[in-house]
């Protein structure tokens, strides 16, 4: 088995977005496409000689083939070892954990997260650093540069490695260790949470429905919730990962997890409903008759985390991405915690976690996490909720009602306009950007603008600056609208409009979200001219 060097040329557009390189699967399957990008990662991290990596993915179509290519390329570039999840599977948080536990030089995660999978859907590759977190911008910039300069890649000619059997084998000079994708992760969860308390709650009749959406968390949730914690058999539904996620869209929100929503809104609903996404880093929480928005969930977790072993010493600080609602800020203020505001994407939390400035963080896009790994973690969030409910004995609805009574409520919704013509979307953002300086002090449909700017982030740990992170307009009284273009979409542009309004009036707390936000929604359209500029009269998705 000798490494072959294959001549190649740069392929345009190999630029990692918010979370790795995502493209249509057929694009990834084009000649040299995957190989060019993988070689560019190796080149950007200073080569692979003597290094150890973790490799796994969410099981989507092409996951198995891509894994074999990546292994052959790692072997050809002199890697010492690759630790692979059995069947080339690993959830994103489990991969992050393995990188950390085994102190590897990083890892490759094959996933397009919550995007659908299949030959006509999406595939993706991301590189995580030795701290277990997504590559930061300076590393992804080096990758992009490497993709633009690539002239050749190295690959071993070899048979497929058997990834179905646990144990160590060799590929050329490189070791391949196939590990149980669940075991280390499950052990970590047991350390963080009071499993006895959760077990006792299930024994006393508490019911849960975890919808794995035919994606990677099925095996994790079955092992932990059903087999270890004693939730009734069948509590985990859609628990077998499938290459096209059962034809569904593995994004845990009320639209794509509608089946779960329907069950939870019915009379005989379980006590807690939850779902996770394609690669297991997102979560949705819903109580009986009570959907919990991700921003609210983050705030509730911040307010109650100290009730669980993982955070018994209290939180160091908290962080949220800029477009995430400011419900978290209210908790931080009352509890005297530092609260950081970062750009969208998990990579920005890594430095704050590494530096010990925060212990809990999250995004409005159903991502919540802590310093236990360097990714958001879907099942972890569900376990944290379960642990809190086991301690307080409250229902989800009661938890929310009590939370709003103590902290006030931030109504919040994200409106997405998908596959918008890229030029039109860019023109709209540009026009709005130009308007921002004149907005403060003006009145729009009865609300006065307090501030308006384009968000830029100065990382307090490494001093790096990230610009162009979204346009934000805040109003007197706590309303806010944020506009940004998605960095993960694969067709045209996706315009995200994040709408928030604050209330301290208890008589409003149970209002329906879109209704409570109707004024801000009109302002959002008026301000940016969404209808004229995109030709759309309504968003494709409201979460």
Give the footprint of ligand G1P on this chain (CB under 6 A). Answer: 18-19, 113, 321, 344-346, 363, 365, 367, 486-489, 496
CB of 110 to Zn ion, least distance (A): 12
Nearer Cβ to ligand G1P, position 447 or 496? 496
Give the nearest distance from C-beta 340 to ligand G1P in angstroms. Answer: 15
Burial of 313 (0-12, 13-18, 19+ CB in 10 A): exposed
Q: How far is the CB of 23 from Zn ion (least distance, A)?
A: 16
Nearer to ligand G1P, 363 or 371 (CB): 363
Select from Zn ion, ligand G1P, none the partner in contact with residue 279, using the beta carbon and a kind-dependent cut-off of 5 to 8 Å. Zn ion
Smallest gap from residue 17 Cβ to ligand G1P (A): 6
Distance CA 435, CA 359 (A): 37
Residue whose CB is less far from Zn ion, 96 or 235: 96
3-state secondary structure of 43: helix
What is the H or E stretch that residue 140 is in? helix 137-149
Q: Which residues contact 435 (CB under 8 A, 6 or more apart)?
A: 527
153 binds, among ligand G1P, Zn ion, none (CB under 5 to 8 A by kind): none
Residue 96 site contact among Zn ion, ligand G1P, none (CB < 5 to 8 Å, cut-off depends on kind): none
| Closest distance of CB 362 from ligand G1P, Å | 9
User: Which of 19, 40, 77, 113 is the catalytic position?
Assistant: 113
Tokens 């604050």 belong to 502
Handedness of CA 341, 342, 346, 347 (dihedral sign): negative
Cβ pair 418, 540 in contact under 8 A:
yes
CA 201 to chain centre: 29
272: which DSSP letter?
A: E
Cβ nearer to ligand G1P, comparing 113 with 410: 113
Based on CB atoms, which residue is closest to ligand G1P, 127 or 346?
346
> Which region, left, alpha or beta, applies to residue 50 given φ > 0 means left and ψ of -120 to 50 means alpha?
left
CA gap 472, 483 in Å, rounded: 6
The token pair that represents 7 in the structure block: 């001549």
Q: How far is the CB of 207 from ligand G1P (least distance, A)?
A: 29
| 392-401 burial code (b ≥16 CB/10 A, e <16) | eeebbeebbb
| Residue 226 interacting partner from Zn ion, ligand G1P, none (CB closer than 5 to 8 Å by kind) | none
Q: Which chain residues interact with Zn ion by CB under 5 A?
A: 113, 277, 279, 281-282
Closer to Zn ion by Cβ: residue 105 or 363: 363
Would you tell me how many other CB atoms lie within 10 Å of the CB of residue 512? 9
DSSP secondary structure code for residue 488 in this structure: S
- Among residues 125, 17, 26, the alpha carbon closest in space to that of 70 is found at 125
**Residue 486 binds which one of Zn ion, ligand G1P, none, with CB within 5 to 8 A depending on kind?**
ligand G1P
Picked from Zn ion, ligand G1P, none, the partner binding residue 488 (CB below 5 to 8 A depending on kind) is ligand G1P
Q: Which residues contact 500 (CB under 8 A, 6 or more apart)?
A: 325, 326, 410, 411, 412, 478, 479, 480, 481, 517, 520
Catalytic residue status for 113: yes
Token pair belonging to 25: 């699967």
Cβ proximity to ligand G1P: between 83 and 471 the closer is 471
Q: How many CB atoms lie within 10 A of CB 485?
A: 18
Q: Which does 325 bind (CB under 5 to 8 A by kind): Zn ion, ligand G1P, none?
A: none
Least Cβ distance, residue 279 to ligand G1P (angstroms): 9
Q: Could you give the residue numbers annotated as active site? A: 113
């Amino acid at each position: 088995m000798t490494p072959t060097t294959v001549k190649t040329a740069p392929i345009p557009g190999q630029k990692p977005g918010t979370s790795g390189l995502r493209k249509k699967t057929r694009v990834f399957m084009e000649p040299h496409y995957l190989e060019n990008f993988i070689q560019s990662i190796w080149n950007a991290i200073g080569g692979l000689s003597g290094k150890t990596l973790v490799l796994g993915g969410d099981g989507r179509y092409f996951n198995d083939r891509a894994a074999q290519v990546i292994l052959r390329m790692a072997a050809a570039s002199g890697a010492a070892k690759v630790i692979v999840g059995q069947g080339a599977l690993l959830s994103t948080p489990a991969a992050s954990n393995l990188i950390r536990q085994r102190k590897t030089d990083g890892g490759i995660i094959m996933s397009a997260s919550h995007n659908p999978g299949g030959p006509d859907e999406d595939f993706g590759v991301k590189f995580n650093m030795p701290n277990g977190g997504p590559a930061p911008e300076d590393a992804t910039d080096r990758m992009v540069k490497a993709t633009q300069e690539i002239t050749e890649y190295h690959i071993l000619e070899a048979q497929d490695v058997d990834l179905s059997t646990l144990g160590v084998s060799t590929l050329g000079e490189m070791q391949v260790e196939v590990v149980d994708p669940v075991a280390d992760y499950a052990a970590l969860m047991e350390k963080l949470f009071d499993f006895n308390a959760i077990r006792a709650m299930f024994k006393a009749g508490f019911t849960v429905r975890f919808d794995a959406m035919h994606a990677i968390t099925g095996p994790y949730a079955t092992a932990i919730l059903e087999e270890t914690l004693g939730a009734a058999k069948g509590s985990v539904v859609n628990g077998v990962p499938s290459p096209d996620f059962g034809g569904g869209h593995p994004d845990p929100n009320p639209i794509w997890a509608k089946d779960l929503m329907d069950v939870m809104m019915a009379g005989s609903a379980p006590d807690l409903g939850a779902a996770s996404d394609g690669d297991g880093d997102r979560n949705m929480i819903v109580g009986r008759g009570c959907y919990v928005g991700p921003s609210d969930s983050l705030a509730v977790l911040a307010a109650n985390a100290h009730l669980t072993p993982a955070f018994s010493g209290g939180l160091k600080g908290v962080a949220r991405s800029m477009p995430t609602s400011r419900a978290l800020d209210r908790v931080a203020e009352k509890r005297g915690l530092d609260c950081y505001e970062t750009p969208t994407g998990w990579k920005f939390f890594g430095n704050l976690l590494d530096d010990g400035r925060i212990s809990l963080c999250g995004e409005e896009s159903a991502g919540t996490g802590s310093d236990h790994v360097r990714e958001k973690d879907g099942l972890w969030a569900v376990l944290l909720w379960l642990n809190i409910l086991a301690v307080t004995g409250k229902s989800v609805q009661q938890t929310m009602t009590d939370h709003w009574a103590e902290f006030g409520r931030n109504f919040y919704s994200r409106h997405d306009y998908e596959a918008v013509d890229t030029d039109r979307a860019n023109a709209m953002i540009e026009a709005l950007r130009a308007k921002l300086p004149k907005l403060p002090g003006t009145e729009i449909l009865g609300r006065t603008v307090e501030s308006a700017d384009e968000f830029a982030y100065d990382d307090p740990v490494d001093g790096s600056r990230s610009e162009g992170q979204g346009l934000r307009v805040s109003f007197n009284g706590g309303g806010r609208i944020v506009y940004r273009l998605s960095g993960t979409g694969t067709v045209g542009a996706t315009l995200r409009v994040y709408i928030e309004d604050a209330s301290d009036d208890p008589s409003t707390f149970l209002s329906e979200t879109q209704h409570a936000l109707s004024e801000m929604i009109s302002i959002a359209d008026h301000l940016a001219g969404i209808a004229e500029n995109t030709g759309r009269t309504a968003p494709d998705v409201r979460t």
